[in-house]
Structure 1
């Protein structure tokens, strides 16, 4: 009798272990497919930590003109730069990226977006540029677009909007959220894409190669500091921008 009880307990234990392994593997696969967030982000997505709405970081930059377009960042900022004070504002309706230092606008650049620029990004393949607050995840050279500044999309806020769209029936349940969104240049000789405001990307922000090379960290250490990947980037919604113009 005792032997049978021990045998049953072992079977139950083995069953629990197998279920745990299968469940973990299934969750991992769904995460890799972009259908679920990593477990580390689950508390933030479910607002178990805090879930305050995103607030504007930058003051509104009046006008459509590009700020200090004919001057270099080295000339404007010098050589001693504290990367903790660097942030970026992108205004969709103005096709403009403005670099801030200590929350003061320093220089603006013309940019374009995904080929379906209106509205926030909700899933992979919608060709929209995500809106909200992001940080820089990584930076590297790109063989086709000069440089790539990789953003931390999707954030917990992105996941919440993604799931709300699925629950509301506007996004198919089996569509992934997407990723690999960043700031990059254009194909060689493609500056006219920026000059003509041709939204050509799959959701990234695109600058002229000369411009992306200037803000990308080289010997001029704009981002190369202790907290180099904590650069705040804010992408404004088109409708909100029209309201303040």
Structure 2
């Protein structure tokens, strides 16, 4: 193979490499598809990263009340972060919305509140990607510890979170 062909092959191979983030790139939207168990970080409609997630133990249907083990559905925002909690970092989602509170009030129940995008429980990081083999949270969205570190850097407070069925 000539040097020119070798360089051409090397260059064309770069096009097939996975998308790499630019340093400091931030998402403006988080999209969670519950049925697909995936979370996408988006910027101006362009997918920056995709993650496999575990959901609440009762993943079908929207969260209705505290303790129902369901992950909510709807539009929310990142409204806080926990560097130290029972999980390896966590981003708080603004659940319940006004509509969620109204529904819970009509039903005479408490809507719940602590919905997070979080890493694995402290001390269990070695489980890694195997955690997605089942839905194990109390209604939150879980990723690996390495993934929550990346998400923590990429998703600013105020970013829109859309959770779809």
Q: Shorter-chain-normalised TM-score: which range?
A: 0.7 to 0.9
Q: Which whole-Å CA distance do the structure 2 matches of 1:205 and 1:121 have between them?
A: 13
Question: Unpaired segments of 5 or more residues in structure 1?
Answer: 1-69, 167-172, 238-245
Q: Greater share of strand residues, 1 or 2?
A: 2
How far apart are 1:157 and its partner, in Å?
1.8
Q: 2:150 matched to 1:214?
A: yes
Distance 1:163 1:144, change over 3 A: closer
Distance 1:185 1:80, change over 3 A: closer
Task: Give TM-score, length-normalised by structure 1.
Answer: 0.55
Match of 1:193 among 127, 131, 139: 131
- 1:32-181 aligned at under 5 Å gives the runs 75-76=20-21, 78-79=22-23, 81=25, 83=26, 86-164=28-106, 166=107, 173=108, 175-181=109-115
Match of 2:9 in 1: none
Q: Which whole-Å CA distance do the structure 1 matches of 2:102 and 2:18 have between them?
A: 41
Q: Which has the higher contact order (CA 8 A, sep 6+)?
A: 2
Match of 1:236 in 2: 164
Q: How many residues align?
A: 145
**1:100-158 alpha-carbon deviations (Å, 9 max, x no partner):** 01111121000011101110001101010000001011112234321110011111121
Displacement over 3 Å in runs of 4+: none
Q: Which whole-Å CA distance do the structure 1 matches of 2:127 and 2:86 have between them?
A: 11
Larger-gyration structure (1/2)? 1
Q: Which whole-Å CA distance do the structure 2 matches of 1:116 and 1:229 have between them?
A: 27
How far apart are 1:163 and its partner, in Å?
2.9
Q: Which whole-Å CA distance do the structure 1 matches of 2:68 and 2:94 have between them?
A: 18
Q: Greater share of helix residues, 1 or 2?
A: 1
**1:161-198 alpha-carbon deviations (Å, 9 max, x no partner):** 2234x1xxxxxx2x31111111001132232222x1x1
**RMSD across aligned positions (CA):** 1.9
Tell me the secondary structure at the aligned position of residue 216 of structure 1: helix
Q: Which whole-Å CA distance do the structure 2 matches of 1:183 and 1:142 have between them?
A: 13
How far apart are 1:71 and its partner, in Å?
5.2
Task: Give TM-score, length-normalised by structure 2.
Answer: 0.80
